Amino acid sequence: METRINEIADGIYRLSTFVPEIAAPAGFTFNQFLVLGAEPLLFHTGYRQMFPLVHAAVSRLIQPERLRWITFGHYEADECGAMNDWLAVAPRAEVAHGATGCLVSLNDMAARAPRVLSDGAALDLGNGKRVRYLDTPHIPHGWEAGVLFEETSGTLLCGDLFTQVGDGAALTRSDIVGPAIATEDFFRFSSLNPGMGPTIRRLAQLAPHTLALMHGPSFAGDGAAALRALADDYDSRVRAAFTDAGIAAFDPGAPAVAA
């Protein structure tokens, strides 16, 4: 296995490892993103067993001990399995995550106390880089789920949203919604819930120019349109699930309790 490096937005590097055995014959990518501020930030650490590969890739861009922030979408092995390996090699590094992630897992599992980011909180990384944390509970899975938006480049580090199989280009302008829908049909990895449409449309309001997928290519183009299309697909899936369960009406725009 090798980890390939591509700059997918100004100062944001995609470190990509392709594993052909997962979802064979298409295979599956695991991507981390290094944001090169004065305080470098890593979004996703990769699996603990991938640490040597990812560490070697980061070393080609910065001295790994300079890493300042360790962030990820939610608490799973591919997102944060190597978190404590990074804390060990980077003495100034802090894990940063939302309140739910810290309370439920990270206060106990991280080797040093994590930094709690409230919904909408920003980290100024210096060198013109600034990331904002947004809670996306249960979307696409994990109570503690969240995403990061790098404001200067308009890059949404969107984690498992738009997950697709295969190993395409590092950066594409082609459709990413169709492959995401096909992969949802294949893996069923999302926790279908009525909050999906509104939460993903809130991300669309950021109008990202780049969507950085954890599993798949990065996308350059109209990120808002892609997010709204993904939200529409999830709404239909949730509506169908409600119908299958015999619950007659589901309107994602309706209040939770009727007046």
Q: Residues in the site for Fe ion, rule: CB under 5 A?
A: 76, 78, 160, 214
Tell me whether residue 39 or residue 78 sits nearer to Fe ion (CB atom): 78
CA dihedral 237, 241, 247, 250 (to 10 degrees): -10
Tell me whether residue 114 or residue 142 sits nearer to Fe ion (CB atom): 142
Gap between the Cα atoms of 31 and 161, Å rounded: 13
DSSP state at residue 141? S
Report how far apart the first and last C-alpha atoms of the chain are (Å, whole number): 57
Residues 170-185 as b or e (16 or more Cβ within 10 Å = b): bbbeeebbebbbebbe
Q: Which of 43, 38, 134, 47 is nearest to 92 (CA)?
A: 38
Four-residue CA torsion sign, 48, 54, 59, 64: negative
How would you class 1 by CB atoms within 10 Å of its CB: exposed for 0-12, middle for 13-18, buried for 19 or more? Answer: exposed
- Least separation, in Å, of the C-beta of 226 and Fe ion? 18
- Least separation, in Å, of the C-beta of 118 and Fe ion? 22
Tell me whether residue 160 or residue 235 sits nearer to Fe ion (CB atom): 160
For residue 241, what are the contacts with CB-CB under 8 A and spacing of at least 6? Answer: 192
- Least separation, in Å, of the C-beta of 44 and Fe ion? 7
- Least separation, in Å, of the C-beta of 163 and Fe ion? 7
Gap between the Cα atoms of 110 and 199, Å rounded: 28
- Least separation, in Å, of the C-beta of 248 and Fe ion? 32
Tell me: cis bond preceding 25? Omega within 30 of 0 counts.
Answer: yes
Tell me whether residue 37 or residue 156 sits nearer to Fe ion (CB atom): 156
Tell me whether residue 152 or residue 193 sits nearer to Fe ion (CB atom): 193
Tell me whether residue 11 or residue 212 sits nearer to Fe ion (CB atom): 212
- Least separation, in Å, of the C-beta of 215 and Fe ion? 6
